[in-house]
């Protein structure tokens, strides 16, 4: 068992090659969107069965006396013949006395009570590739339950959950961000700074931008999983109506309304009208 892990993607289990292969085990891991952007190494701790170190999975000490199982004559299985209305039916079953080994041992391993396995806590390092999405599973080869002697271990399946981010909504490899701009910014246009998972970016807000308009920042979204390139960042602009004005701002806005030929009864719901016009 090396400490370098092959990590693959997969949904279901792989084909069962034989009955002795170890079981696949599952665990979950939560990471932030930033970590999904950057890629990250995380530790997972799992309690899993391990091959008993004292008997190497045999279930009995090496120096235990061995005798042939009398119930199956060392065959490991018992065949029963039953008479049914349809004829004779032969049924072969694993021997219950020796568990299929064909041998009985004078002692069982004290460490594992003859099970061949003990439960141990194992801490493993998982390499989470950049661009991973919620619900995707990393397969760690051979890190599941041990197989019987000579058979391969099961795998450990790590399901990754990516937390929501306060600034971004994710849609595939694209990100969406809502950004507030002022009325003058929307009117005159501006260079606007927005947060990204890569530090930040600037884009040009066109003069005359309406509230709700969306700008696309190419390549500023999530990295594409196991491929090159990034998704895009869509910035939806929200023009913010001021909730309070200084005297000077108020005068200027009144003048603005007047210049546009608007009659506004300032004392009656000035702010309501103002809000509706944006």
Residue 47 CB, shortest distance to Zn ion, in Å, is 18
Q: Please identify which residue in 112, 140, 157, 194 interacts with Zn ion, judged by CB under 5 A.
A: 112
Instruction: Restricting to residues 237-276, name those near Zn ion by CB under 5 A.
Output: none
120 is an interface residue for Zn ion by CB under 5 A = no
Instruction: Restricting to residues 161-200, name those near Zn ion by CB under 5 A.
Output: none
CA distance 92 to 98: 15
Closer residue to Zn ion (CB): 59 or 221: 59
Spell out, one character per residue from 25 to 64, where the chain touches Zn ion: x when CB under 5 A holds, - when not. ---------------------------x-xx---------
157 is an interface residue for Zn ion by CB under 5 A = no
Using the structure block, give the residue that is written with the tokens 């694209």. 174
CB 225 within 8 A of CB 168: no
111 is an interface residue for Zn ion by CB under 5 A = yes
Closer residue to Zn ion (CB): 106 or 210: 106
Closer residue to Zn ion (CB): 98 or 158: 98
How many chain residues interact with Zn ion (CB under 5 A)? Answer: 12
Closer residue to Zn ion (CB): 22 or 223: 22
Closer residue to Zn ion (CB): 25 or 72: 72
Written as six digits, the tokens of 41 are: 């190494």
Closer residue to Zn ion (CB): 55 or 237: 55
Q: Please identify which residue in 25, 31, 33, 109 interacts with Zn ion, judged by CB under 5 A.
A: 109
Spell out, one character per residue from 66 to 105, where the chain touches Zn ion: x when CB under 5 A holds, - when not. ---x-xx----------------------x-xx-------
- Kindly list the residues in this chain that would bind Zn ion in the complex (CB under 5 A): 52, 54-55, 69, 71-72, 95, 97-98, 109, 111-112
């Amino acid at each position: 068992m090396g400490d370098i892990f092959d990590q693959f993607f997969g949904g279901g289990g792989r084909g069962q090659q034989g009955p002795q292969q170890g079981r696949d085990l599952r665990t979950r891991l939560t990471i932030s969107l930033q970590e999904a952007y950057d890629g990250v190494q995380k530790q997972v701790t799992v309690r899993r069965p391990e091959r008993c170190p004292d008997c190497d999975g045999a279930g009995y000490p090496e120096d235990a006396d061995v005798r042939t199982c009398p119930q199956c004559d060392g065959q490991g299985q018992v065949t029963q013949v039953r008479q049914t209305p349809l004829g004779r039916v032969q049924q072969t079953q694993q021997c219950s006395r020796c568990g299929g080994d064909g041998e009985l041992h004078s002692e069982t391993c004290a460490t594992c009570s003859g099970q061949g396995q003990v439960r141990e806590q194992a801490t493993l390092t998982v390499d989470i590739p950049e661009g991973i999405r919620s619900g995707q599973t990393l397969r760690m080869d051979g890190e599941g339950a041990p197989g019987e002697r000579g058979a391969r271990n099961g795998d450990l399946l790590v399901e990754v959950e990516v937390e929501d981010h306060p600034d971004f909504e994710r849609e595939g490899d694209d990100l969406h961000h809502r950004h507030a701009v002022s009325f003058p910014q929307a009117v005159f246009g501006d260079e606007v700074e927005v947060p990204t998972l890569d530090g930040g970016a600037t884009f040009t807000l066109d003069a005359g931008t309406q509230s709700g308009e969306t700008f696309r920042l190419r390549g500023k979204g999530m990295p594409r999983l196991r491929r090159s390139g990034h998704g895009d960042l869509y910035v939806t602009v929200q023009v913010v109506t001021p909730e309070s004005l200084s005297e000077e701002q108020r005068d200027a806005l009144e003048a603005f309304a007047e210049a546009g030929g608007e009659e506004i009864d300032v004392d009656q719901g000035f702010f309501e009208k103002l809000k509706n016009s944006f």
